[in-house]
Amino acid sequence: MIFSSIPFMYYFLPIILLVYYVTPRKRRNAILFISSLLFYAWGEPKYVLLMLLSIVQGYVSAQIIEKYRETKVARGTVFVSVILSVGSLLYFKYTNFFIENLRAITGGYVSFVKIVLPIGISFYTFQLISYVVDVYRGARAQRNFLDLGAYIAMFPQLIAGPIIRYEEIESQLSNRTSCFEQSANGIRRFCIGLAKKVLLANQFGEFITIFRQSSDLSVLYYWMYILAFSLQIYFDFSGYSDMAIGLGKLFGFEFSENFNYPYISKSITEFWRRWHISLGMWFRDYVYIPLGGNKVGVARHLCNIGIVWFLTGFWHGASWNFALWGMYFAMLLVIEKYVLCKHLQKHPIIAHLYVIVVVLLGFVIFNAEQLHILCSDFKGLFGMNGLPFASKEAFYYFKSNFILFIVGILGVTPFVKNVFVKARRREGIRAVMDVVEILLLVGALVIVTAYLVDGSYNPFLYFRF
């Protein structure tokens, strides 16, 4: 089940909210936990047991760590817990990748394992690791198993994040309140994310499908494709994060932001402080800083950056293009740190153009799972395949999707938000803008519903990560 679906929006969510709010406050985490398991079981019932075992492992490990804190028992327990969590992720996500590379290196034959990747395992595994490590560092272990289960399995952010740290949500698990204003903001945020996903990301996805099937390629067409993919993945993932944050508000939770207009950045360092914020902070706090961060010599610092970004890329999927994508950004960050940073600060317009170009080229790597596709895409972008600058099909789809691209480009900036904020500050227009916003949200919901009933293209890109 996905958020942008008729069963979720008009059956599952209303029923769960009704049950949740008629249940006494002390029992609401149990309802949230059970509903999260039902949500997960909707698509993969056999992996509910895996999730439960992971939660049990984390619960027991944390109790042992807290009881024997600052002893060898605690250190051994956190090590075993992390190994079990990482081992589970490696088995389900990377086994066949390792087998494929072993066969390529040795020339031998090793059968692939029939494994279906559990949806959301990359996200809930990281949350479980952060919980156990935070307890080891001094946080209080969660005594109530259902409360811990609600945190790990919470369906609003189970499938594609944001990655919620235990320390961020610990107090909310036992003490949270819901009010009309919070619920209204939650509905508003959910509708915005839903519109991003269905009305923008899906449309860019359909354009990309047409491009990949085309035999009338050109340089213009390739640049339209990579711009479309960059916009698709932003609206797809930030839209999901918006929906997750909105749903969290409906259940009384305040989740941290996961995107902050990354395409307005003036350096790659800034870009990664704005894109998938929760993942960046996770790797910073649980990998980069424990390795020594930047409080070491230059060689060690470069090594730390390389390790973090190799793992960041590899986290996204079992394919070498993701690792290459991670190392590409590691290289850019190192160049900025030691060479470019001071120059970028002096020329903001050039810095912004630089970020856009290198990010677009990075997404060429990200979306090319095979080497020959990667080489072909780069050649196409720079006219090295003997392609014309433009073609009839490229011009046709440029004109057909011109408005979509303009809306998409405006949508990745704070322009629309700033217009509404400034208008609300004016006393005579504030009430009008409130009505306009409601009408826009209702209209978007109606249009989205029509798209979903029609059965249009609708998968979430980050489900595969």
Active site residues: 316
Interatomic CA distance for residues 335 and 267, integer angstroms:
11
DSSP code at position 264: G
Residue count of the chain? 465
Q: In the structure encoding, which two tokens stand for residue 310, read together?
A: 């190799």
Q: 164, 126 in Cβ contact below 8 A?
A: no
CA dihedral 194→199→202→203, nearest 10 degrees, is -170
The sign of the CA dihedral 76, 141, 22, 158 is negative
The sign of the CA dihedral 18, 19, 23, 29 is negative
Interatomic CA distance for residues 280 and 270, integer angstroms:
11
DSSP 358-372: HHHHHHHHHT--SHH
Q: 40, 12 in Cβ contact below 8 A?
A: no
16-35 burial string, b = 16+ CB within 10 Å, else e? beeebeeeeeeebbbbbbbb
Is residue 160 helix, strand or coil?
Answer: coil
DSSP 66-82: HHTTTSHHHHHHHHHHH
Interatomic CA distance for residues 73 and 79, integer angstroms:
10
CA dihedral 142→148→151→153, nearest 10 degrees, is 160
Q: What are phi and psi of 143, to 5 degrees?
A: -75, -30
